[in-house]
Chains A and B, each alone.
Chain A
Amino acid sequence: MAAPLFLLAPPRSYTSLVNAMIGQHPQAFGLPELCLFNVERLIDLWNGVEGENAERGAMARHGLMRAVAEIYCGEQSTATINMARAWASVREHWETGRVFRELVDKLDPLVAVEKSPSYTVAVPRMKALYRTFPEARFIHLVRHPIPQGKSVMAINNGAFTMRMGAFEIHEDFANLEPQIAWHDVNLNILEFLEGVPAGQQICVRGEDIMADPHAKLAEIARWLGLSDDDDAIEEMMHPERSPFACFGPLAAMFGNDPNFLSGPTFRPHTPKIPKLDSPLPWRSDGKGLYPEVISLAREFGYEH
């Protein structure tokens, strides 16, 4: 079985784009967000765990339904999504790791590529993933905390920061602070990766891929043991060709960031990297990043 590849990153860190790009390599298969390791058993994706999945439960299943429909039927339609539901129903009491392994076996010899930012919310989820795939490889994808925080706050009023408990508590008031979520999620990833052999993990800055995609994607392909010839890299430059780079049928429309689904085409650009002492765009008091966040960002190569 080809060892799967997982992208670990907070949301809004180029994960959708990079996942689809790597997944477009002729020897790989980019999956949508399966969210399987958010729960222990498959049926919990439907039931939720103590209300945890209650709010976006259906959306958390869309990726799996689309993936099953595509892998087993070669297309995503209302009929094949219904088939995927039946497929899941038969396996409803399976552990989610076993379900994931079946999909990876089915894709073999292609390398399964997946990213579900929800795994990085809790270290036990990533450990469950690693227990299932001890041979898996991991890319820790990082993005500068300021544009990432700005982007997180622009999506759903910053709901992710609340989910991460990213509150700044003062004497008589509190506010949401996305840099706390950026810091704590990256800390979770680092803590998890401490237990993963160095040969199975790399750390990549999303901005570097955006600025020089050919070179960086070729580096990643070589690291994965995949071909880095021009044809393969050219294919990786077209994430929009992925069967999951669009909205799915009505019964399973999502499975990824809606912004990516509505505009998956990659346009090479050099992202602006702000100075680490810049004022934060989501704050009106002119304050900047915490020293802990600056220190961690420097470790990721954001020097200024």
Chain B
Amino acid sequence: MSINAESGDPPAPEEQTAATAGSSKKRERLSPVPLDKRGMVDPSQMAPHQAALRQSVVDSFNAKKARSFLQRQVNHIAASRELANGIKFLFDENGRAPVNAPLEDIIEERRMVEYHLMWLESLVLEMRHRLVKVREIEDAALEVLAGASDE
């Protein structure tokens, strides 16, 4: 660990900026993407050839992302089916657990169901949130239309 702390009162930030500027050798960024005024990378300023190559990496990244998302969903559906088949033995024809069901299996099943409920609840919450936003947009659009027809 290197601690650069110095004793005494620190100078004001403005003074320190002037005092320390240029104290270390100037290094250049390695990224080929220029920065905008907010200091964020701005691909729109790249040369056309570089921008095209960059875009191909971005497209490939997005394709990989979409593929892994779909794979996860497929796995989830498959896992849900397997789970449904796997727990059949826990219940009798009336949907009740048999008297001799192993406690470990019941606890495991309870945990799994709780996990799935949590997952579904978060999905529902997200959908409701989206619905609220869509409704707001819809209401605003209808108001505009109503105003236009009045005129």
Contacts and interface: CB of A to CB of B under 8 A. Distances in A.
Contacts of A250: 118, 121-122, 125
24 contacts: A122-B38, A134-B13, A165-B41, A166-B31, A167-B31, A167-B57, A169-B50, A176-B61, A184-B30, A184-B31, A190-B24, A194-B21, A195-B13, A196-B13, A196-B16, A198-B4, A202-B2, A202-B5, A208-B1, A216-B1, A219-B1, A251-B125, A293-B30, A296-B27
A191 to B, nearest CB: 9
B58 interface: yes
Contact of A174 (B3, B56, B68): B56
B2 A187 contact: no
For B17, B40, B65, B125, which residue has the most chain A Cβ atoms within 10 angstroms? Answer: B40
Contacts of B90: none
A175 B56 CA distance: 9
Interface of B: 1-8, 10-13, 16-17, 20-21, 23-24, 27-33, 35, 38-41, 43, 50, 53-54, 56-58, 61, 64-65, 68, 118, 121-122, 125
A245 to B, nearest CB: 19
Given A169-B32, A190-B24, A200-B10, A162 B57 contact: yes
A85 B64 CA distance: 35
For B17, B50, B53, B64, which residue has the most chain A Cβ atoms within 10 angstroms? Answer: B53
A91 B146 CA distance: 33
Contacts of A232: none
Given A184-B31, A205-B1, A167 B121 contact: no
For A187, A199, A204, A296, which residue has the most chain B Cβ atoms within 10 angstroms? Answer: A199
A220 B130 CA distance: 45
Contacts of A175: 57
Contact of A122 (B7, B27, B39, B58): B39
A223 interface: yes
Contacts of B122: 250, 253
Contact of A52 (B16, B17, B32, B40): B40
Interface of A: 52, 121-125, 130, 134, 156-159, 162-167, 169-170, 172-176, 179-181, 183-184, 187-188, 190, 194-205, 208-209, 216, 219, 223, 250-251, 253, 290, 292-293, 296, 301
For A164, A179, A253, A301, which residue has the most chain B Cβ atoms within 10 angstroms? Answer: A164
Given A173-B53, A174-B56, A250-B125, A195 B17 contact: yes
Looking at chain A's contact residues, the main secondary structure is: helix
A174 B58 CA distance: 10
Contacts of A199: 4-8, 10
Contacts of B21: 194-195
Which 10 pairs of residues, A with B, have the shortest CB-CB distance? A165-B33, A122-B39, A197-B10, A165-B41, A174-B53, A195-B17, A165-B31, A180-B30, A124-B39, A202-B3
B27 A157 contact: no
A293 B31 CA distance: 12
B41 A194 contact: no
A184 B54 contact: no
B39 A125 contact: yes
